[in-house]
Structures are given as structure tokens and as C-alpha cells.
Structure 1
Amino acid sequence: MERYEEGRVENDRAFRQERTMLKAIGEREPATLGEIAEATERGAPALSRAVDSAVKRGLVDRRQDPDNRRKLQLRLTEAGQHKVDEAVIDSGPMVERFQRLAQSELRAIERAIEILERAG
């Protein structure tokens, strides 16, 4: 994997978490913080900080819900959507390689990834 991922930021845990958060927002627009916390299995305080960072960097638009001023609506900006789309495009070569593997090989890779994630 290192050979294919050499020099890429995707290896960074924070980058993966941000990509997951952006994807979840895009799939649920207009999304609430609670929905995204549940979808990403992250605590609300950590997710709130991540959303703040994404708003400051122009990836997420955060506005009050017109029907309930205590709620916030999250939407991807054009830059945020581009970042999500870019991640999908970047995964192309690896997807092609995985498609050539047998089911038993794919299960072995999934198991290895689970072990690596637990080892954190």
C-alpha cells in the first residue's frame, strides 16, 4: 500500500476523518451536526471542531435552520464538493486492482485493515 500511496496525505487519520465528514454532509444536505456525528461515529464536540475548521477553510457552509433557529444546517461548498469528488477520482487505480482480486483475497485485505485500524 505504501508504494501506491507514497507521498499522499490520505494516509493521515485526520484527512480520512475529514473526508468521511464531508462525504456524510454531502449525502445528507442540509445536514445537522447530530446526523453527521451519528453517521461518522464521532462525538459531537470533536465533530463540531472539525466542522469549524472546514467552515474556516471554505469547505462547509453552516447556517441557521429557518424553521428552528437552534439548529444549524450544514452544506458542502463548491470547494468541499470538489474535495469529496477528488477523493473518489483518486481511488480509481486502487479500485481497479481490487476488482481483479478473488473474494477470499478481498476478505483477507478487509481483515488486515480491521487489525491495522485497531492497532491505531
Structure 2
Amino acid sequence: MFPNASPQALAARFTTLAEVLVPATSEDRAAGNQRKLLAAIAATEPATLGAVAERMGRGAPAMSRAVDALVRAGLVERTPDPDNRRQLQLRLSDDGRALLQQPPATNSRLAERLSRVAQSELRALERALEILERMPR
């Protein structure tokens, strides 16, 4: 094992391993960004563009283009705000909600690789994940 493992060394190994285990294609990254945006809208429904942009840490123009793409894809619905005619409300469509509930494609690829690991090692991985999940964010 590694008796003198520093947090920095473990973080570097973990990051490298994550990139190797679940290589993200540009398609995966785009889908991940789309899921994050759908989740931000869902978290504040009925959402406004400003609230979503703030939640995502992005500017309104970039978010406007991204939301436009989701509207065109039928994943988000835009409706007038009954209390403020100058503002639009954003809600997930049924398709958007269904997409958000599906596990990412990267999950199935990693699950396939994990299916070839011994049960005792899976339990050790589960314990490690429990430790990581308890860490302050």
C-alpha cells in the first residue's frame, strides 16, 4: 500500500484514474452540460433565465443560447410569467424530465467494467465511496 499517501497524491491518482475509467467523449461532455442545465431549471421551477444563469455561474447570453437549444429539442418549455410580462418562465417538458431521470451513458460503461471485479473488491470500493461521500463539500 502507500503508508505516506498525502491528500495531494491521492487526489492526483483519483483524478487520473477517473479520467481513465470513464473517458468522456465530447458527446458525453455536451450531454453532461445539458443535464446540469436541466437540473438547474428543475431545481427552481418555474425558473427564470437569470436564476438559472446565476445557479450555473454563467452569463445570461450564454444561458439564453443553451436554453434556446433545449427548447428546440423539446426538453424545456418557455411560457410568459403571469406576474411580469417582460419575463419568461422555464419548465422542463415531460421529455426533459424523463431525460434527467435517466442515468448518464458513462454509468453503464463504468458498470460494465465493474462487473468484471471480484465481489470483495466491489465491497472495498463501496467503502471508499462512502468515505468520499462523507467528506465536506
Q: What TM-score do the two structures reach when normalised by structure 2?
A: 0.61
Q: 1:48 aligns with which of 60, 64, 78?
A: 64
Q: 1:70 aligns with which of 74, 80, 86?
A: 86
Q: Contact conserved, 2:22 with 2:106, CA < 8 A, in 1?
A: no
Matches within 5 A, 1:1-120: 1=18, 2-5=20-23, 9-10=27-28, 12=29, 14-87=30-103, 91=107, 93=111, 99-101=126-128, 103=131, 106=132
Say how many residue pairs are matched.
102
Q: What TM-score do the two structures reach when normalised by structure 1?
A: 0.69
Q: Select the structure of larger CA radius of gyration.
A: 2
Separation in structure 1 between the aligned mates of residue 50 and residue 24 of structure 2, nearest angstrom: 35
Alpha-carbon spacing, 1:6–1:88, altered in 2? closer, same or farther (3 Å): closer
Greater percentage in helix:
1
Unaligned runs of 5+ in 1: 108-120
Q: Secondary structure at the match of 1:87?
A: coil
**What RMSD over aligned residues (CA atoms) do the two structures have, in Å?**
3.0
Alpha-carbon spacing, 1:88–1:26, altered in 2? closer, same or farther (3 Å): farther
Q: Could you tell me how far 1:8 is from its partner in structure 2?
A: 8.8
Separation in structure 2 between the aligned mates of residue 34 and residue 45 of structure 1, nearest angstrom: 10
Unaligned runs of 5+ in 2: 1-17, 115-121
